[in-house]
Structure 1
Amino acid sequence: MELIEKIILTQIYLSGITGKSYKDNLKTKKGFTENIINSKIDELVKNKLITEDKSALTELGRSSLRVVLAGGVFDIIHPGHIHTLNAAKILGDVLVVVVATDNTAIKMKKRQPLHSKEQRQELVNSLSMVDLCLIGQEDDIFKTVNLVKPQIIALGYDQVHQEKFIIEGCKKINLDAKVARLQSPIPESSSSKIQKEYGESIHGI
């Protein structure tokens, strides 16, 4: 499959989650003229990868995209996050990242996050390897998993989620997803350490 076709399929997949126009997103990409977009979409419809009304992916189209889901707090982006997300993106075609809600972040980090969930979402969305960043759900993480329907769920080196818990949760929603434990290098600094050192340096001025 050509790269341009993969990009179109990706944008249609993402529009199904965000509700935004995939054509508007495609027009912002270099080399994507309206004629090229329409021509390729017609071709993809003919090959049964896009529905006849051009609004969504067919089952065949969706299966041709390997979607990776990763999650975390992402309060202060540091090299460990970049390594982890790059490693996650390599596993598939589309990388969707879920940031924890503020309440979940407090439970996980035992501290108030410096940035709100909306700010953390915006920050992660700005990273080049991330195709889409969503805010998670507090009551049931599998609601987001079911929305994204990834083929791979990537866990970072510092995440404590149990693989068995995730696999069993996916089975309950009839999702056949593999869990990948990313072997990213552990960074010198964690978000908590950066915050602590920054706070100490301010007080020392």
Structure 2
Amino acid sequence: MADRTVITFGTYDVFHVGHVRLLERARALGDRLVVGVSSDALNISKKGRPPVYSQDERMEIVASLRAVDDVFVEESLELKREYIVEHKADILTMGDDWKGRFDEMADICEVVYFPRTPSVSTTALIEHIANR
């Protein structure tokens, strides 16, 4: 059987255990894990603020993890299909906060949504730190 490539995407800002668990679950589905790290510009357009850590720093953090085989910059949510094809992904994984959003990709790969880690949210962590 051919190697199976899994692809996932995220900001991975203020890296926490929820990120680790999601990436490890994604990697367990295949032989190779490729991660699209959202660009600074994409995060500003999605969340109205820049990430705490720069795109390069976030990519370095994600690339250093044993579960991750390759990282690239995700420039646009609308390019998911192109990224999947470019990286020859067999499986797309996302957190279940995106459930249903990428079901149309099922024509080119399997789509898996993972439950989020309870009580862990990057946004909530940033707000907690900012309000101290």
Do the two structures share a fold, i.e. TM-score over 0.5?
A: yes
Query: How far apart, in 1, do the equivalents of 2:118 and 2:63 lie?
Result: 22
What is residue 22 of structure 2 aligned with on the other side?
Answer: 84
Which is higher, the Rg of structure 1 or of structure 2? 1
Preserved CA contact (<8 Å) 1:98 1:135: yes
Q: Does 1:131 align with 2:69?
A: yes
How many matched pairs?
A: 131
More helix by share: 1
Contact 1:137 1:143 in 2 (8 A): no
1:95 aligned partner: 33
Q: What residue is the counterpart of 2:109 in the other structure? A: 177
Partner SS for 1:74: coil
Deviation at 1:110, TM superposition (A): 3.1
Q: Which runs of 5+ in 1 are unaligned?
A: 1-62
**More divergent stretch after superposition (152-161 vs 70-79):** 152-161
**Aligned pairs for 1:12-31 within 5 A:** none
Give 3-state SS (helix, strand or coil) of 1:70's partner.
strand
Q: RCO higher in 1 or 2 (8 Å CA, sep ≥ 6)?
A: 2
Q: Distance in 2 between matches of 1:186 and 1:119?
A: 23
Distance in 2 (CA, whole Å) between partners of 1:197 and 1:147 is 38
Once residues 29 and 93 of structure 2 are traced to their aligned partners in structure 1, the CA distance between those partners, rounded to angstroms, is 9
Residue segments in structure 2 that go unaligned for 5+ positions in a row: none
1:44-63 matches, cutoff 5 A: none
2:103 match:
164
The code of the aligned residue for 1:200 comes to N
Q: What percent of counterpart residues are identical? A: 27
Following TM superposition, by how much is the alpha carbon of 1:161 offset from its aligned partner in structure 2, in angstroms?
Answer: 6.0
Distance 1:115 1:180 in 2: 28
Q: What RMSD over aligned residues (CA atoms) do the two structures have, in Å?
A: 1.9
Q: Name the structure where strand makes up a greater proportion of residues.
A: 2
